[in-house]
Amino acid sequence: MPASFTHSFNFDPAYGYSLDELLAITPPMPPADFAAFWQERYARTMQMHPRPRIKHTGEEVDGFEVYDLRYFSTGNSVIRGWLLVPQDQPVTRGLVFGHGYGGCSGPDFRLKPAGAALLFPCFRGLSRSQHPPVSTDPAYHVLHDIDKPEQYIIGGCVEDIWLAVSALLKLFPAVRGHVGYSGISFGGGIGALALPWDERIQRAHLNVPTFGNHPLRLQLPTIGSGAAVQRYQQQHGNVMQTLQYYDAASAAGFIRQPMHIAAALFDPAVAPPGQFAIYNALPEPKSLFVQEAGHFNYPQQAIQEQALLAELESFFARL
């Protein structure tokens, strides 16, 4: 049965889908030049040195030294965030985290594979990486240059991920071959777009990832950044000219790394059919963790989060 909770939304955030129906959703066909679009972009980005700089905050938390992080990305963007370095063991692996559209107010200490340096970038325009005239409001951020396929802000955020990996490798050359990515919501969607073209990332987890199956996503009532894109489409009618290149479900078909996906049955902000379209498009090896809800508080949430964390600790222990 579809997930059901008492809520105040004027639509059903489960959209009437059963789990079996969600697992049958297929991704949209990408444009013929989809892979070339991203491969050329990756090649250009890899010509850039991120020039990472770190500064100790004086904080030591849960076995980590906490550093302020800064590196350079494309389009004259300065990306800021945090770096966590284990205190009592050598750095042998690295994990880059991608935050949701709510931004990132600090590092998350819950997932910490042994010997891993943890890098938390704030993507361009958001949180520590404000970049005028880019809006910090997700409803406007998601529309920035949406009429220009090459300049669309989401592509720049994908480049921020690639250069986060570059920064990590500059700071800790020993982690090469042992780099993972973990992204939630917005960070999950741009992670799916980044992963196929970057072989430096060995495995990844995407939690309730967005930007999956845009043709379907534009039709389903939603809140948040998805609603902003729908309003834009209603006004202009041409959004798929850009979004066909930024579909996380289309990109997922090109991913070759082992993947772990957490997808929700009920989600008012990222429609579950889009999340499952990403999972369904992935080739093996892949693992699925089904959550009762995303972007919504529910009774079993803490229990499910602990179960997911246990799976991720095992998944990233193989980095």
46-66: per-residue pLDDT in tens? 999 999 999 999 999 999 999
Average pLDDT over residues 2-29: 92
Domain with 239 in it: 19-313
Q: Quick check: is 14 in a domain?
A: no
Give percent above pLDDT 90 in the chain.
97
- CA torsion sign for 173, 195, 272, 220 is positive
CATH classification of the domain holding 284? 3.40.50.1820
pLDDT of residue 73: 98
pLDDT at 186 over 90: yes
Which is nearest to 267 in space by CA: 204, 214, 215, 217?
Answer: 217
Question: Taking 60 as the threshold, does the pLDDT of residue 156 lie above it?
Answer: yes
pLDDT above 70 (res 166): yes
The model's confidence at residue 248, banded by pLDDT at 50, 70 and 90, is very high
Does position 2 have pLDDT exceeding 70, yes or no?
Answer: no
Q: Is residue 96 part of a domain?
A: yes
Mean pLDDT in residue range 270-282: 98
| Residue 6 belongs to a domain | no
Q: How far apart are CA 133 and CA 50, in angstroms?
A: 22
1 — pLDDT class (breaks 50, 70, 90): very low
Question: How buried is 43 (Cβ within 10 angstroms: 0-12 exposed, 13-18 middle, 19+ buried)?
Answer: exposed
For the chain, give the mean pLDDT.
96
* Domain annotation covers residue 3: no
Tokens of 51: 């020039």
Where do we find the tokens 């992670």? 191
Is residue 11 in a domain? Answer: no
Judged against a pLDDT cut of 50, whether residue 263 lies above it is answered with yes
Confidence of residue 134 (pLDDT cuts 50, 70, 90): very high
Query: How high is the pLDDT of residue 4?
Result: 73
Domain count, the chain: 1
pTM of the predicted model over 0.75: yes
User: For residue 147, is it within any domain?
Assistant: yes
Q: Is 117 domain-assigned?
A: yes
Does the pLDDT value for residue 222 go beyond 70? yes
7 lies in a domain?
no
Per-residue confidence band for 172, with pLDDT thresholds at 50, 70 and 90 = very high
